[in-house]
């Protein structure tokens, strides 16, 4: 306990954590702001199926994007460790590798996106109106796919290089432009659901191009030379590809859970899927804020591991963990006391409001349950321990899926109970794995090589 108190009282670590976390919290909060504005703008159109189409189409697009989250997470860990070793040449290699992977996967996903959409909509069994609008929204969003994946790689690289200002500029540009265009296209030009999708595409490309421009200044702060022949050798891709593979499997499992929530909610009716979408916007708000601290853990733990500094790693986890707990308590209180305002802001459809408020206690419980998995994800990413992070996610999924099946008879209450159980299991599984690595003193062994 005395070591933890000493770590918590280390003022320079507080400053380092917040130097990275504060810009990322601000920029991360702008991400769910887009979903909230989409819901608020579309939610004030006259029909529930219009709001539901943005929720369903957005979840399908998010499924494609978020399973590619390894482009950010894998890049962050390797870039952070290269920064800890003061290896500017490797930083350049990681940046180029990340951008090449983003382009390749964007082309690959474009081929599979349309068949995936058809299968997903058949599973959901939506109404005819919801089906048509969802297809229109999803097809338009696909034009932003290359930019979205390139932004993942760029943000991950900037974070690993201990630069949180560039991701802040990228995400604020993307998301504030999205909000402005959303209001113009949907309300001003009356383009409806298609207008919301077009706004997102333009904003995604703007953010990616800004990120590319900002790399020049970042590279000047880390001098070194790019080894082009090394990029042609498979052994220089193998560690990154192995980590990316495991993070991909982990992200796919996570997105499967969110997808199943949408599928089951859709089967319960348009009003239920719309209400769940509003509540999940609250989860997105919480997750993106707490992820700001998790991003700081990624960058600082990776730096500590690259530099071989055990004290720095302990201080980073203690300080970020303490602030994460404080923030999660704040969010839980906000949803308990101000949940009705949160829902009213997003829609004025009475049936959707009533349903969302009935399930608000589940949303209030989520921050306290989910915070630990976010924090531990940051540690595993910084250590490039993707295999262990993958295993923790698969264990949590194996626990939650049978429970979800057993609770089907409880309707939407059963769906939310199963989701809470999944998030709890995720944190417990990651915690047990992390404890095992600590006991074996394995965090500093073979970093980035497994």
Average pLDDT over residues 422-443: 91
pLDDT in tens, 371-430: 999 999 999 998 889 899 999 999 999 998 898 888 888 888 888 999 999 999 999 999
pLDDT reported for residue 44: 61
Q: Around Cβ 223, how many Cβ atoms within 10 Å?
A: 10
Do the Cβ atoms of 352 and 40 come closer than 8 Å? Answer: no
Query: What pTM, to 2 d.p., does this model score?
Result: 0.76
How many whole angstroms separate alpha carbon 349 and alpha carbon 360?
17
How many whole angstroms separate alpha carbon 266 and alpha carbon 260?
10
Reduce the DSSP state of residue 349 to 3 states and report it. Answer: coil
Burial letters for 157-178: b for 16+ Cβ neighbours within 10 Å, e otherwise? bbbbbbbbebbbbbbbbbbebb
How many whole angstroms separate alpha carbon 344 and alpha carbon 61?
26
The H-or-E segment that residue 152 falls in is helix 145-160
Burial class (CB within 10 angstroms; exposed 0-12, middle 13-18, buried 19+) of 115: exposed
pLDDT reported for residue 448: 43
pLDDT in tens, 160-213: 888 888 988 998 898 889 888 888 887 788 787 788 888 888 998 999 999 999
Phi, psi of 239 (to 5 degrees): -60, -45
Q: Around Cβ 114, how many Cβ atoms within 10 Å?
A: 12
Per DSSP, 186 falls in state I
Burial class (CB within 10 angstroms; exposed 0-12, middle 13-18, buried 19+) of 110: middle
How many whole angstroms separate alpha carbon 43 and alpha carbon 45?
5
| Residue partners of 234: CB distance under 8 A and separation at least 6 | none
Token pair listed for 149:
């994946």
Per the model's pLDDT, the better-predicted residue between 179 and 364 turns out to be 364
Helices (H), 184-309: 192-220, 228-231, 238-267, 270-307
pLDDT at 332 over 90: yes
Per DSSP, 191 falls in state -
Do the Cβ atoms of 156 and 80 come closer than 8 Å? Answer: no
């Amino acid at each position: 306990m005395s070591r933890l108190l000493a770590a918590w009282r280390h003022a320079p670590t507080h400053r380092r954590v917040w130097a990275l976390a504060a810009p990322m919290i601000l920029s991360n909060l702008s991400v769910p702001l887009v979903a909230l504005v989409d819901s608020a703008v579309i939610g004030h159109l006259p029909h529930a199926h219009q709001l539901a189409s943005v929720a369903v189409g957005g979840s399908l697009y998010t499924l494609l994007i978020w399973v590619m989250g390894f482009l950010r997470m894998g890049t962050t860990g390797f870039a952070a460790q290269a920064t800890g070793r003061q290896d500017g040449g490797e930083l350049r290699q990681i940046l180029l590798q990340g951008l090449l992977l983003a382009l390749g996967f964007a082309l690959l996903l474009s081929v599979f996106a349309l068949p995936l959409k058809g299968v997903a909509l058949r599973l959901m069994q939506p109404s005819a109106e919801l089906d048509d609008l969802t297809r229109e929204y999803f097809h338009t969003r696909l034009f932003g796919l290359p930019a979205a994946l390139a932004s993942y790689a760029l943000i991950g690289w900037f974070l690993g290089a201990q630069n949180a200002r560039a991701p802040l500029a990228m995400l604020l540009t993307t998301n504030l432009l999205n909000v402005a265009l959303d209001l113009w296209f949907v309300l001003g030009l009356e383009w409806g659901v298609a207008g919301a999708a077009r706004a997102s595409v333009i904003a995604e490309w703007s953010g990616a191009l800004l990120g590319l421009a900002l790399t020049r200044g970042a590279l000047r702060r880390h001098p070194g030379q790019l080894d082009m022949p090394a990029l042609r050798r498979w052994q220089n891709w193998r560690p990154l590809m192995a980590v990316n593979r495991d993070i991909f499997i982990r992200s796919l499992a996570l997105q499967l859970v969110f997808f199943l929530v949408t599928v089951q909610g859709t089967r319960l009716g348009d009003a239920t899927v719309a209400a769940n979408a509003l509540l999940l916007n609250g989860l997105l708000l919480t997750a993106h804020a707490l992820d700001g601290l998790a991003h700081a853990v990624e960058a600082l733990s990776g730096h500590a591991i690259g530099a071989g500094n055990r004290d720095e790693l302990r201080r980073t986890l203690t300080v970020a963990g303490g602030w994460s707990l404080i923030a999660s308590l704040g969010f839980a209180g906000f949803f308990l006391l101000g949940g009705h305002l949160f829902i009213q802001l997003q829609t004025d459809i009475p049936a959707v409001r009533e349903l969302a408020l009935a399930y608000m206690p589940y949303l209030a419980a989520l921050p306290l349950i989910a915070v630990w998995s976010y924090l531990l994800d940051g540690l595993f990413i910084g250590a490039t321990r993707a295999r262990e992070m993958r295993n923790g996610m698969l264990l949590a999924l194996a626990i939650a899926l049978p429970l979800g099946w057993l609770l089907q008879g409880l309707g939407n209450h059963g769906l939310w109970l199963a989701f809470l159980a999944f998030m709890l299991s995720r944190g417990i599984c990651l915690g047990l794995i992390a404890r095992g690595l600590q006991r074996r003193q394995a965090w500093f062994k073979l970093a980035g090589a497994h």
